[in-house]
Amino acid sequence: MRYDLNLLPIFVALMEERNVTRAAERLGMTQPAMSNALARLRLMLKDPLFVRERYGIQPTQVALDLVPSITDALATLDDAVLGQQSFDPATADRLFTIAPNGYVEFVLVPAIVARLAELAPGIKLRLTPYGNDLVETGAVSGTTAIVLGRIVEPPDNLVVQHLMDEGLDCVVRADHPEIGDTISRAQFERLKHVNVIPPGRLRAGLFQALAKQSLKREVALSVTNFFAVVEMVAVTDYCATLPRLICRRLRHDPRLRILPAPVDLGSFPVEMAWHVRYRHDPAHRWLRGTVAEVVKQVSAGE
């Protein structure tokens, strides 16, 4: 039996989008063409594959069972074909989707964008958030080029590279009435604190570090991003415990004072993950190498 390999990416798009219209838009197809392709898929695989529901389509068990084999087959084809292609960053015209957590977006993405503008002005980035769920980023399916942050329990189809380890410092306002050039354990436990949520894994890591040192912290305010922390601390007597590279940037803010934590809170890893299908893709390899180089320079203070 002869198979139409062009139908396999369509199957993957339908599986990931769970919506015929969105899958068609993603692949640059009309909706009638997508519906026709779905009919051919059903005939080829001898199963309905997707069942219509109120807000889209849901895969059948056969479709769910086929996903690993089809995605692995596409990854193998990508390795064989893309690995033979050349890539010139200076002339490339590409769009990459990357998923940084909040910390990476604040500290590292600006430097990455600046490097791309210098070396590959035709490359564009689209950012999608990374909190706790790797699946939601699109990395597990391969629609996202790389995920940046703390990668916990990655599936087998993701490759993970360690980029650096990051520590933690404290931030208070410059004219804080109780805090001088250092902060003691007693002062830390007496103060009220600003907490950042998400990213969830960083939040969990900080709570675990505090618990390990039996260091108490009264959280008076929880915010959703690092930008908000700065403004809250600048106008209150609250304290915030933040990653060291963020604190390095905040040293230039005259409203703030950066202090070492009263105890060693350890460090947390910053990692990069990508789908196995992009292992040998020249463009993706260049992008990952550039990101790793930028992270190394930023962490070294260059």
Nearest Cα residue to 219 out of 259, 191, 185: 191
Question: Tokens in use for 172?
Answer: 């208070």
Convert the pLDDT of each residue in 175-216 to its tens digit.
Answer: 999 999 999 999 999 999 998 875 444 556 677 778 888 889
Predicted pLDDT at 272: 96
Residue showing tokens 């947390």: 268
DSSP E strands, 158-265: 158-166, 168-173, 192-196, 218-223, 239-243, 256-260
Q: What is the pTM of this model?
A: 0.72
**Summary mean pLDDT of the chain:** 87
Of 18-32, 74-88, 106-120, the range with the lowest mean pLDDT is 74-88
